[in-house]
Structure 1
Amino acid sequence: MKNLCYISLLLFGMLGHAQTALYNSGNIRIHNQGQLGFHTDLINDAAFDENVGLAGFYGNDQIYVSGAFVPTFYDMEIANPTGVLLQTGINNLNNTNFIVGDFLTFKNQTDVSYTFLQDAFYTGDSDLSQVDGYAAVTGQSSFTFPVGDGVQLRPLILRSESENPVAKCAYFFENAGSPTSISESFDPAIKSKVLGGVSGTEFWRLQGSVPSTIEISWNERSDIAALTDDVTTIMVAGWSKAENQWVALSPAGGTGDLTVGFVASDSFIPDDYEAITFATLDVPEDFLDLENYIVSANGDGINDILMIPELLELSPNNHLRIYNRYGSLVFDQVNYTDQFKGYSNVDNFVIDREQGLPSDVYFYIVSMDDLGLSFQGFLYLTR
């Protein structure tokens, strides 16, 4: 560790936390090659954002950072086993060196975070040193959040389609149905039909407005064996704000074993979901074979349209193809809802197209992209 200039100024009581504090009212700056070590609290009540040296938090007593302004440091370092509690955030311009101890935030206050700015990165994150609370990133499209619960590092890997104006993440080693650190709850029993089980052991909260994919990993403490004995059924699930339930954010297909592994999501907008965790695919056996369907396109209001309720409910991202008995494609629809009414919508040669397809037996293939499943069957068209 580098030799630092340790500064301790003025005596303040902070919300019942009695120890000396460095009070910045606008006359402190870390110059090039400068080094400032904190063994005391920081009360930052003025701009503290033109720093180019190293700022470190050291000692054995927990340090508080508070004040009206968020300080911005160039290089950061933490070597304090009891941690640094952020009552106001910290911005990092360049590198954060995690040695020992955590940057802590209150998990019910999403506006306070340890924020990595556009070119910022970090080293040394581990079970001994992480962000226990909200870590944030600005101006970056790919980032691994060094978050955990103070006992284990539980990172979330974010890959976005473009740079994030801001994205935030926190990890909770708590049952999402009855968390202790936030007032909201997300009952694992309230879920879409495609989900067999939802983890009650841990979850992440992720904020961001840019379409993104994520990767999350499990370890022995995640208790994946309580969910499934087959890692290929593991998927990412999110608590949908629109649906107020857990929904699938990826096809099934975890990698690893029941002790250690990871799973990746499809693209989604983080702000549309309250929480993220592991779930399993559980499609009942009687659903695995879609039915053979009858369409009587005669205008009597009964079976005039091909309806496949499972597509709307379980896999809005789908692809339906219908073929005649000779193998010619007569209907092709991405994200099918209720478009087939007995008429062809493709350019293949179809006799008397305006009269509709003739009464006959047809063959269909449907892919349920949200589930990673495909089915085929017969369609009986009558008039």
Structure 2
Amino acid sequence: MKLIDKKYIDNTILLIVLLLNGSIILAQTALTNYGNLKVHNNGQIGFHIDVINDGDSVENEGFAGFYNQNNPLSFSGLNQMNFENFEVDVEDDLNLFTSIGVNEEVFFTNGRINTPRINPDVKFKFLNDNIYSGEGNNEHVDGYAQFNGDFEFSFPIGDDFEIKPLIIDNYNNSITYAAAYFKEDPNVPTTFTNSFDTSSFQPSLDVISTVEFWYFDGFKDLDLTLTWTSSSNISLTANNLTDLRIAGWDDIQKIWVNLGNTSTTGDLNNGTITSRIPNTNDYKIYTIASILKAGNEIVVYNGMTPDGDGLNDTLIIRGIEALPGNQLYIYNRWGRLVYQKDNYDNSFSGIANENATIKSDKELAAGTYYYVLKLPEQEDLAGYFYINR
């Protein structure tokens, strides 16, 4: 047994109760708990071989760790184990086939905690607002992590030997969240039954990353932050940080949705993007995308069907978000102005807001309408579109 010298642990006390109405079998390759294993307050236990938990062990106190510098270790069995403070120091990783929960602090000393990506029910769980330290490219959760708490939390998740945190600020909502990072093309994911077509996206988007994506299971509205490094190839997605957006996969419409950009940090090699997500329950898959790249043409869609089905309900002008200071004017077939908006934001839904002869807020009839789009330091654009009802 390896005892860990931590400043908050009284090393003079080692009290481990291994048997309470049950039994523990120590075989050559694994320790199997069939009974009630418990680490008491200020106790310490180190596992140097595989552990199989078929008994009860969820009220542990003190300190526990997995240690091996020569071989990988595994944790499996019928039941989850919960620990108070927990360390991983396994050169070739700790592989979970059953969930482990930690209530206080996690120490990533060496090696990753791997969970099976084909089984999202197995997670490494950060319980009760707990914290961690020592995370890095070789020290993180490679697979699914879970968090329960009411403060900002950065999921120490990654894929292979690269950490790519997902960060949330859930504004005092004590809810359980889960996250995982996938270093793979969302068009051909290896552990999902469906793909996430990067050619299917809202008109306000232009490029969806084919390098990586994140899984996030949430519920409430919150600030969500994604991270990137040089391996993310962000320069293939956008020319500058202001064009970046968080995109979420709408599994009903089968389309990537523009979830905005409230702030960014860093540069095209390393940085973060944050956006306020109104309801994270609407999406499970997220990645980094961009609006129309600088130099691409503005595209005005020539049809809209404002019937409330969520498809083509507004007049879409692709790339307009990249051109602040624009002005949109819409006229009916008699040349009367029926709509005007500065800094158009793809919000025209067929409702008039101009012209004394047409009641403001009146639903415009089906038919052909004409637009003039004034762009800063560019020639005006003009054309027509249809409203179909």
Q: Which residue of 1 aligns with 2:61?
A: 52
Q: Which residue of 1 aligns with 2:196?
A: 186
2 CA distance for matches of 1:152 and 1:237? 22
Equivalent AA in structure 1 for residue 359 of structure 2? Y
Structure 1 residues 45 and 290, CA gap change in structure 2 (3 angstroms): closer
2 CA distance for matches of 1:223 and 1:330? 39
Do structure 1's residue 21 and structure 2's residue 30 form an aligned pair? yes
2 CA distance for matches of 1:252 and 1:282? 17
- Give the one of 311, 328, 337 matched to 2:349: 337
Q: Which moved more, 1:159-168 or 1:233-242?
A: 159-168
1:210 offset after TM fit, Å? 1.3
Q: Which residue of 1 aligns with 2:237?
A: 227
Counterparts of 1:306-345 in structure 2, within 5 Å, are 308-310=314-316, 337-340=349-352, 342-344=358-360
2 CA distance for matches of 1:5 and 1:86? 26
1:308 offset after TM fit, Å? 5.0
RMSD (Å), alpha carbons: 4.1
Structure 1 residues 110 and 268, CA gap change in structure 2 (3 angstroms): farther
1:174 offset after TM fit, Å? 0.8
Q: Deviations over 1:356-381 (max 9, x none)?
A: xxxxxxx999xxxxxxxxx999xxxx
1 CA distance for matches of 2:255 and 2:249? 5
Q: Which residue of 2 aligns with 1:32?
A: 41
1 CA distance for matches of 2:186 and 2:176? 24
Q: Deviations over 1:295-322 (max 9, x none)?
A: xxxxxxxxxxxx952289x99xxxx999
Q: Which residue of 2 aligns with 1:271?
A: 281
Contact 2:75–2:95 (CA under 8 A) maintained in structure 1? yes
Contact 1:141–1:161 (CA under 8 A) maintained in structure 2? yes
1:108 offset after TM fit, Å? 2.1
Contact 1:250–1:265 (CA under 8 A) maintained in structure 2? yes
* Percent pairwise identity: 30
1:238 offset after TM fit, Å? 1.2
Q: Which residue of 2 aligns with 1:357?
A: none
Structure 1 residues 150 and 5, CA gap change in structure 2 (3 angstroms): farther
TM-score (norm 1): 0.74
Structure 1 residues 21 and 308, CA gap change in structure 2 (3 angstroms): closer
Q: Which residue of 2 aligns with 1:129?
A: 139
Q: Which residue of 2 aligns with 1:75?
A: 85
Q: Which residue of 1 aligns with 2:164?
A: 154
1 CA distance for matches of 2:160 and 2:340? 59
TM-score (norm 2): 0.72
Structure 1 residues 261 and 31, CA gap change in structure 2 (3 angstroms): same
Structure 1 residues 183 and 96, CA gap change in structure 2 (3 angstroms): same
In structure 2, runs of 5+ residues without a counterpart are: 6-10, 19-23, 303-312, 322-326, 330-338, 362-371, 375-379, 383-389
Q: Which residue of 1 aligns with 2:253?
A: 243
1:96 offset after TM fit, Å? 0.3
2 CA distance for matches of 1:321 and 1:162? 41
In structure 1, runs of 5+ residues without a counterpart are: 13-18, 292-306, 323-328, 346-362, 366-374, 378-383
Q: Deviations over 1:54-93 (max 9, x none)?
A: 0100013211111221111000000101111111101110
Equivalent AA in structure 2 for residue 309 of structure 1? L
Aligned length: 329
2 CA distance for matches of 1:157 and 1:44? 31
1:229 offset after TM fit, Å? 2.5
Contact 1:330–1:344 (CA under 8 A) maintained in structure 2? no
Equivalent AA in structure 1 for residue 45 of structure 2? L
Equivalent AA in structure 2 for residue 343 of structure 1? K
- Give the one of 10, 15, 27 matched to 2:25: 10
1:23 offset after TM fit, Å? 1.4
1:178 offset after TM fit, Å? 1.0
Do structure 1's residue 175 and structure 2's residue 185 form an aligned pair? yes
Contact 1:311–1:337 (CA under 8 A) maintained in structure 2? no
Contact 1:311–1:336 (CA under 8 A) maintained in structure 2? no
Q: Deviations over 1:39-68 (max 9, x none)?
A: 111111222111111010001321111122
Q: Which residue of 1 aligns with 2:101?
A: 91
1 CA distance for matches of 2:192 and 2:59? 35
2 CA distance for matches of 1:24 and 1:73? 15
Contact 2:262–2:276 (CA under 8 A) maintained in structure 1? no
Do structure 1's residue 41 and structure 2's residue 47 form an aligned pair? no
1:249 offset after TM fit, Å? 1.0
1:161 offset after TM fit, Å? 4.0
